Structure 1
Amino acid sequence: MTDQPYHHGKLREALVARAREVIEEAGVEGLSLRQLARDLGVSHAAPGKHFRDKQALLDALALDGFRSMNARITEASEAAGDHRSRFVRIARAYVDFAVAHPVLLAVMHSTKHHPDASNELRSIGEDGMTVARAIIAEAQEAGELAPGDRELLALVCFVSLHGAAVLAAGNLLDGTSIGALTVATTDLLWAGMVAGIPAPRGASGIGP
């Protein structure tokens, strides 16, 4: 076997792409650099030129996942419409990604919180929350939402939508569609922020 097809920087991208397929099919436990090498028809040593170990590959997967997810969230936030409709689009973008890629999403969040996570990963891992805080802030400043701790409110939105997505990915909604649940969740979240439910003391500053 030869790594000839992956010269000129193409092997790294091929490894990440194949690894993403593998974890969705067999979970993180089914991922190995040696197997990826066999899958791609390269020498067992070839992946080591790009990833020192499995954790380094997971870091790359997390970065790739966040870039893909954040692009969808950003596109949703920049779409035409009022603050509420954009908020709903952002929520749907996250939920759709989470349901379509549950294992990758778990890798993204767990790797982001790994003690050895890079600054780049920690930063890009916060971009989605930054978008959520921004739309909440805009709506508050426009008088559409009550004043409140934007960071905590964004966290509550994340927890609620993430929970819905995890249940949907696990087929645990007992027949309720994820679309209907997302609509109901965003309606309740928006109504709560309009009402201005007070945040508990000392709860701000927490991140997902």
Structure 2
Amino acid sequence: MPDETPKPYHHGDLRAALLAAAEAEIAERGIEAFSLRQVAKRAGVSHAAPAHHFGDANGLLTALAADGFRQFLAAQAAREAVANPDPASQLVAAGLGYVDFALQRPALFRLLWGSQRTDFASADLGQASRAAYQHLVDQVTAAGGLSVADTAAVWAMAHGLADLLAAGRMRAVGAFPPAERDAVIAEMLRRTLPRA
């Protein structure tokens, strides 16, 4: 007679599975209601597994944010890869990638920029967030920006557009078909480019 005892589910990459479950959890329940127990249940592992890997709920959210910054840069790189190679076009493409990330991953976007539960003193999160900021600085500089104000203006425009669109607050632009929406966003981003 075959053994019918249920076998525990085995993850090939438990860390990645827990991060995916954590993102799904914040998307469904929000950051403030986030709990390790719910993440474990969603991932199909023991309730102790997330604590073993991340310490506590804030540790898991911090790891998720670090991973989120890397995915944020990947969204920008995807747009940059198909844009013209000149610095202004690359900067606009990065801004479009910023918006793509916010629209496709709104809960993760809010975790990166709106949560007090992440620990930016963490080496991994600190490095990932600095890499994202340095990418912005490098692009603004390549496009002719020389001041903190140039960088801040581009960042504020890209972030504001992403946040408003992800929240459904910029309905006039968000209602356009994607190609038309992108053209409007690109024009707004171009208006913040440093002037020679």
Are residue 27 (structure 1) and residue 30 (structure 2) matched?
Answer: yes
| Match of residue 165, structure 1, among 132, 148, 162 | 162
- Which letter does structure 1 place at the counterpart of 2:108? L
| Match of residue 134, structure 1, among 130, 133, 138 | 138
CA distance in 2, matches of 1:115, 1:29: 15
For residues 124 and 115 of structure 1, do their structure 2 counterparts lie closer, same or farther at Cα, with a shift above 3 Å needed? closer
Q: Deviations over 1:111-141 (max 9, x none)?
A: 699566313312210222212222222232x
CA distance in 1, matches of 2:43, 2:134: 37
> In 2, are the aligned partners of 1:74 and 1:131 still within 8 Å (CA)?
no
Q: Count the aligned residue pairs.
A: 184
State the 1:156 CA deviation: 1.5
Bigger shift: 59-68 or 78-87?
78-87
SS at match of 1:126: helix
Over the matched positions of the two proteins, sequence identity in percent amounts to: 31
Q: How does 1:48-63 map to 2 (within 5 A)?
A: 48-63=51-66
Q: Deviations over 1:10-38 (max 9, x none)?
A: 22211111111121122113321111222
State the 1:85 CA deviation: 1.3
> In 2, are the aligned partners of 1:65 and 1:104 still within 8 Å (CA)?
yes
Q: Which runs of 5+ in 1 are unaligned?
A: 141-146, 196-208
Are residue 42 (structure 1) and residue 45 (structure 2) matched?
Answer: yes
Aligned-residue Cα RMSD (Å) equals: 2.6
Match of residue 10 from structure 2: 5
Match of residue 189 from structure 1: 192
Q: Which runs of 5+ in 2 are unaligned?
A: 1-5, 175-180
Match of residue 82 from structure 1: 86
Give me the TM-score of the superposition, normalised by structure 2: 0.80
| Match of residue 152, structure 2, among 149, 152, 155 | 155
Q: Deviations over 1:48-99 (max 9, x none)?
A: 2112110001001101101111123245446552122111111101111022
Give me the TM-score of the superposition, normalised by structure 1: 0.76
SS at match of 1:91: helix
> In 1, are the aligned partners of 2:65 and 2:118 still within 8 Å (CA)?
no
> In 2, are the aligned partners of 1:18 and 1:36 still within 8 Å (CA)?
yes
CA distance in 1, matches of 2:40, 2:14: 10
> In 1, are the aligned partners of 2:50 and 2:60 still within 8 Å (CA)?
no
